[in-house]
Chains A and B, each alone.
Chain A
Amino acid sequence: MSDVAHADGHHDVHEGTGIDNRKLGMWVFLSSEFMFFGALISNYMLFKGRDYSAFMPTGQSVLLPRGLYDIPFTSVSSFVLLMSSLTMVLAHDALVSGDQNRTRVWLAATGMLGSVFIGGQVFEFTEFVQQGMTISSNPAASAFFMLTGFHGAHVFFGILMLLSLYGISKRQGGLTEVQGLNVELVGLYWHFVDIIWIVIFTIVYLIP
């Protein structure tokens, strides 16, 4: 029976790349997400510089996103989001060193910072709408709300994942080794969302 090798008999998973299936899956998923945000960003860039005055009722001026930005405010909320990447790393670090309490604290802190960022975005959107720029004002405004809105939705899902990790840890008195990988996966996702925000912040807010 030389040609048929012996198996270990179990549903065996030997990973060709040396990376865990779930982790590789997350990387592959995130590569797809880059295309998603790439399309949203190019959509915004296409519409942001156009002149919409011809489409406005007489006497009304065009309200474009770039005329309404409060750069200092958004800079602060961007800083908050970037700090959450740090706390995410600290959560993972705490888990690796076996400190379940500290893991929970940093997971909660990450979720908290993410929530502050979302709160800032809600405030910003309300402010823009009050000043008269809605999603139906012009295509540039539509593209702005769509791009930043989808980013916000991604942050929101990240917070949901953090909360469920926190809940599981609280309930079981700690995360197991298998669930520990989930912290890493959520971390990957969270860093991705942060990196995308850096790109959005630069392209949408900073570049004139």
Chain B
Amino acid sequence: MATTASRSGARTIFRRPDSNTGFWGWITTADHKKIGIMYGYTAFTFFILGGLEALLLRIQLSQPDNVFLSASEYNAMFTMHGTTMIFLFVMPVSAAFFNYLLPLMIGARDVAFPRMNAVSYWIFVFGGIFLYSSFVFGTTGPPEGGNLAEVASRLGSGPNGGWFGYAPNSGLRFSTGTVMDYWSIGLQILGLASLISSINFIVTVFNMRAKGMKLLRMPVFVWMTTVVAFLLLFSLPIIAVALFMITFDRNVGTLFFDPSMGGDPILWQHFFWLFGHPEVYILVLPAMGIVSEVLPTFSRKPLFGYPAVVFAGAAIGFMGFGVWAHHMFASGVTPITQAAFGLSTMAIAIPTGIKIFNWIGTIWGGKIKLNTPMLFSLGFVGMFVIGGLSGVTHSIVPADWQQTDTYYIVAHFHYVLFGGAIFGLFSGLYYWFPKLTGRMYSETLGKLHFWVFFVGFNLTFGPMHWLGLNGMVRRTWVYAEETGLGPWNMVVTIGAFIIALGVLIFMINWTWSKRNGPIAPFDPWDARTLEWTLPSPTPEYNFAVNPVITSLDDFWHKKYSEDADGRPVRRPEATALLAEYEEVGLNPPEPIHLPNPSYYPFLVGVGMPMVGYGLIYDNTAWGIPLLILGAVTIVGSFIGWGVEPLEEPHADHHSDEPDHEHPGTDGEDS
């Protein structure tokens, strides 16, 4: 293997990490696939937490005049349920897919900035831990400090201003203590992680594509990733400014949202929704991308109207910035504004509709195989249509006035974000499970998961439509017996527990199949995109030889030609080709350099909550020292990183046997 001589030349503080396996292998990795897997597991852990919070909410609401949770506990639960599901589950689990798949789908060995990728992950992890530590350290009462018993009595108070953090409720007047500081600073940290990864993905997509992979030959999933990255790039700075404003209002004495001093609470809503509405598409576009990969594969047809799907996705991205005030129809914006935003909201249904018709066109006349990923993708299309239609009813201003802040709106966005995003993401988890683990999942358990999930989902969020129209309002912890809302609420709660059962089935399936499932072939679905040309699980270097692309769905066209009726006919040479892919994939003809592992991304992450605690407790003796220590950790890590070389010769990766001679001389043509 290659020499390690150059290591002495590297100037570094710590001994360079060099393990690719084990605990430190995961902590220090810069491999996009490992980071993707860690993103996935971490996000799923938060999904469990957010789900448990939802169950507590549903137990409280299962019958009228319930006393299971207090009002303030209820506030903390619904705030953290929303915050968790959006910022700690759907966004990072989408990032898990981006990380794992994006380089594979565009034929790259890695992302543009491998260690930045690791930084993004660690900032996300520590931001999430910081946010959740508010349940332990956060206070809602006015004075801080006091004796230990007093502090202990406040344990269990989390952020309680809603995931939307509406001012002035999130300001000092109505939210004393520190819990909303945890919320605003925690989101700031999480936003930083997303910003870093979005820059990384954009550069990766534009610079790292394989030869011949033109923009309109990229898989739809890659396209949707790109749109999401741009949405993040342009919307995160706005929420960053808004979060700075609320943090400063609470800690520095600025007056942005304090109406008693001339501040403007509606400004918070403008800034928040100018981020928050694009955020909806940030959450759902990755799922749309997944569905656009799964439907053609299991219908055995190309995606109907590929350019239309791509351009509709881009159009949704652009228009997503022009509709934010439809979240504010009931907060006193002028009639002209209402009319304009009502119209733009209706207009955004057009590209969404284009996509839906393209998906239906893809299934139409296809040879459909109803495997689990396909079921979840079909579930996505169905549920998303319902959610989309109820969404259009909100663009009609008078109707919105009736529906807003009722359970009708809760039903709407859960049909979009649960029935849409989460069904799509589960579809992707099953679809790429063989590539990820090298084994097949249990189809029986997978289908059971889908049907339990599907029934539970509709039982939970379907009745919310009429609960809302019958006047059940959001964000209150109790309702009276006389309203007659009790029975349907009980149904909803039962539905929520059925969903939880579905998640349990998924977890059993995943953990069992990962170890005991049948060994997966490297192209189990007879799929269309480049990642299926790689061995399962994918080796660290991804591509043994860099692919050259000649058309959209290049891999498919290598396997199939068309007969006179346009039906696919398997090429005779396909089997030999697949065998060759597998053979070469495991035995690259030449050694491949990869970025080295590094401690510094992890350390940057460690510094983040230190700065956060320092900011919150700047009035105590240890606040400022901790703040400085955190800043030094972050800056020092970046400096250490700056002088650390990215690649070293000893990081060669070729075959599993180090002294194995390169066999691939026959691959040297072209």
A139 at interface by CB-CB < 8 Å = yes
Residue interface mask B210-252, A partner, CB < 8 A = 1? 0100000000000000000000011111101110110010001
Q: How far is the CA of A119 from the CA of B548 in the complex (A)?
A: 55
A3 at interface by CB-CB < 8 Å = yes
Q: How far is the CA of A12 from the CA of B240 in the complex (A)?
A: 35
Q: How far is the CA of A138 from the CA of B256 in the complex (A)?
A: 8
**Quick one: given A4-B667, A15-B207, A138-B261, are A43 and B241 in contact (CB under 8 Å)?**
yes
With beta carbons under 8 angstroms apart, the residue of B238, B547, B635 that contacts A39 is: B238
Which residues from A are CB-within-8-Å of B642? 164
Asked if A28 and B203 make an inter-chain contact with CB atoms under 8 angstroms apart, the answer reads: yes
Q: How far is the CA of A14 from the CA of B245 in the complex (A)?
A: 42
Asked if B262 and A55 make an inter-chain contact with CB atoms under 8 angstroms apart, the answer reads: yes
With beta carbons under 8 angstroms apart, the residue of B109, B112, B235, B248 that contacts A21 is: B112
- How many Å from the CB of A19 to the closest CB on chain B? 7
**Quick one: given A5-B547, A11-B594, are A25 and B255 in contact (CB under 8 Å)?**
no
With beta carbons under 8 angstroms apart, the residue of B237, B643, B667 that contacts A6 is: B667
Q: How far is the CA of A9 from the CA of B588 in the complex (A)?
A: 8
B110 at interface by CB-CB < 8 Å = yes
A49-68 at interface with B (beta carbon < 8 Å)? 50, 52, 54-55
Which residues from B are CB-within-8-Å of A138? 255, 261-262
Residue interface mask A185-196, B partner, CB < 8 A = 1? 000000000000
Q: How far is the CA of A207 from the CA of B306 in the complex (A)?
A: 49
Which residues from A are CB-within-8-Å of B113? 21, 25
Q: How far is the CA of A81 from the CA of B558 in the complex (A)?
A: 58
**Quick one: given A5-B547, A16-B206, A24-B206, are A139 and B234 in contact (CB under 8 Å)?**
no
Q: How far is the CA of A139 from the CA of B642 in the complex (A)?
A: 40
Asked if B207 and A9 make an inter-chain contact with CB atoms under 8 angstroms apart, the answer reads: no
A97 at interface by CB-CB < 8 Å = no
With beta carbons under 8 angstroms apart, the residue of B209, B253, B260 that contacts A136 is: B253
B595 at interface by CB-CB < 8 Å = yes
Most chain A CB inside 10 Å of its own CB: which residue of B234, B235, B591:
B234
B263 at interface by CB-CB < 8 Å = yes
Asked if B543 and A7 make an inter-chain contact with CB atoms under 8 angstroms apart, the answer reads: yes
**Quick one: given A3-B558, A43-B267, are A142 and B248 in contact (CB under 8 Å)?**
yes
Asked if B592 and A32 make an inter-chain contact with CB atoms under 8 angstroms apart, the answer reads: no
Q: Determine the residue in chain A with the shortest Cβ distance to B110.
A: A11
Residue interface mask A134-161, B partner, CB < 8 A = 1? 1110110011011000100000000010
With beta carbons under 8 angstroms apart, the residue of A7, A16, A46, A134 that contacts B267 is: A46
Q: How far is the CA of A7 from the CA of B585 in the complex (A)?
A: 13
B591-622 at interface with A (beta carbon < 8 Å)? 591-595
Q: How far is the CA of A21 from the CA of B110 in the complex (A)?
A: 12
Which residues from B are CB-within-8-Å of A15? 207-208
A-B contacts, 21 listed (Cβ < 8 Å): A1-B584, A5-B211, A5-B670, A7-B544, A7-B545, A9-B592, A10-B593, A11-B593, A12-B109, A13-B208, A21-B207, A21-B208, A28-B199, A39-B271, A43-B256, A46-B267, A55-B261, A134-B253, A135-B254, A139-B254, A143-B256
**Which residues from chain B sit less than 8 Å from chain A, CB to CB?**
109-110, 112-113, 195, 199-200, 202-203, 206-209, 211, 233-238, 240-242, 244-245, 248, 252-256, 258, 260-264, 267, 271, 543-548, 558, 577, 580-581, 584, 588-595, 635, 639, 642-643, 647, 666-670
Closest 6 pairs between A and B when the two form their complex, measured CB to CB: A9-B590, A36-B237, A142-B254, A136-B253, A39-B241, A35-B237
